[in-house]
Structure 1
Amino acid sequence: MRPELQRRVQRYGWDYSSPYYEKGWQLQLWPAQKRLLEKANLQKGEKVLDISCGTGLVTFPIAETVGPEGSVTGIDLSEGMIEKAASLADKDSVSNVSFQRMDAEKLDLPDDSFNIAINSLGLMYYPDPDKAIRETYRVVKPKGRAAALVWGRRKECGWTDIFPIVDRRVESDVCPLFFQLGTGETLQKTFRKAGFTDIVSERFDMKLHFDSDEQAVIAAFLGGAVALAYRKFDEQTKEEAHAEYLESIGSYRDETGYDIPGEFVIVSGKKFG
Structure 2
Amino acid sequence: MKPDLQRRVQRYGWDYSSPYYQKGWERQLRPAQQKLIEEIDLQLGKKVLDISCGTGLVTYPIAKAVGVEGEIIGIDLSEKMIEKARNIFNDREIKNVEFRHMDAEELDFEDACFDIGVNSLGLMYYPNPDKAIQEMHRVTKPGGRAAALVWGRRKACGWAAIFPIVDRRVESDVCPLFFQLGTGDTLAQEFKDAGFVDIESERFEVLLPYETDEEALISAFQGGAVALAYRKFDEQTKEGAHAEYIESIQPFSSGTGYEIPGEFVIVSGNKSG
Range class of TM-score, shorter chain? over 0.9
Q: Please name the residue that 2:89 is paired with.
A: 89
**1:119 maps to 2:119:** yes
- Report the Cα distance in structure 2 between the residues aligned to 1:48 and 1:161, rounded to whole angstroms: 35
Number of aligned residue pairs: 273
Q: Secondary structure at the match of 1:254?
A: coil
- Describe the superposition over 1:228-266 as per-residue Cα deviations: whole angstroms up to 9, x where unpaired: 000000001001100000000011112230000010000
Q: Please name the residue that 1:105 is paired with.
A: 105
- Report the Cα distance in structure 2 between the residues aligned to 1:19 and 1:145, rounded to whole angstroms: 32
- Report the Cα distance in structure 1 between the residues aligned to 2:263 and 2:149, rounded to whole angstroms: 11
In the alignment, structure 1 segments of 5+ residues that lack a partner are: none
Matches within 5 A, 1:145-224: 145-224=145-224
Q: Secondary structure at the match of 1:209?
A: strand
| Paired AA for residue 116 in structure 1 | I
Matches within 5 A, 1:255-266: 255-266=255-266
Deviation at 1:94, TM superposition (A): 0.3
- Report the Cα distance in structure 1 between the residues aligned to 2:180 and 2:264, rounded to whole angstroms: 12
Q: Please name the residue that 1:37 is paired with.
A: 37
CA RMSD, Structure 1 to Structure 2 (Å): 0.5
**1:50 maps to 2:55:** no
| Paired AA for residue 57 in structure 2 | L
- TM normalised by structure 2 equals 0.99
**1:248 maps to 2:236:** no
Q: Please name the residue that 1:139 is paired with.
A: 139
- TM normalised by structure 1 equals 0.99
- Report the Cα distance in structure 2 between the residues aligned to 1:20 and 1:212, rounded to whole angstroms: 15
Q: Secondary structure at the match of 2:11?
A: helix
- Describe the superposition over 1:129-149 as per-residue Cα deviations: whole angstroms up to 9, x where unpaired: 000000000000011010000
Q: Please name the residue that 1:62 is paired with.
A: 62
Q: Please name the residue that 1:234 is paired with.
A: 234
Q: Please name the residue that 1:11 is paired with.
A: 11
- Report the Cα distance in structure 2 between the residues aligned to 1:109 and 1:154, rounded to whole angstroms: 34
Matches within 5 A, 1:69-84: 69-84=69-84
- Report the Cα distance in structure 2 between the residues aligned to 1:65 and 1:12, rounded to whole angstroms: 32
- Report the Cα distance in structure 1 between the residues aligned to 2:147 and 2:10, rounded to whole angstroms: 22
- Report the Cα distance in structure 2 between the residues aligned to 1:166 and 1:174, rounded to whole angstroms: 10
- Describe the superposition over 1:32-57 as per-residue Cα deviations: whole angstroms up to 9, x where unpaired: 00011011101110000000000000
Deviation at 1:89, TM superposition (A): 1.1
- Report the Cα distance in structure 1 between the residues aligned to 2:100 and 2:268, rounded to whole angstroms: 24
Q: Secondary structure at the match of 2:146?
A: strand
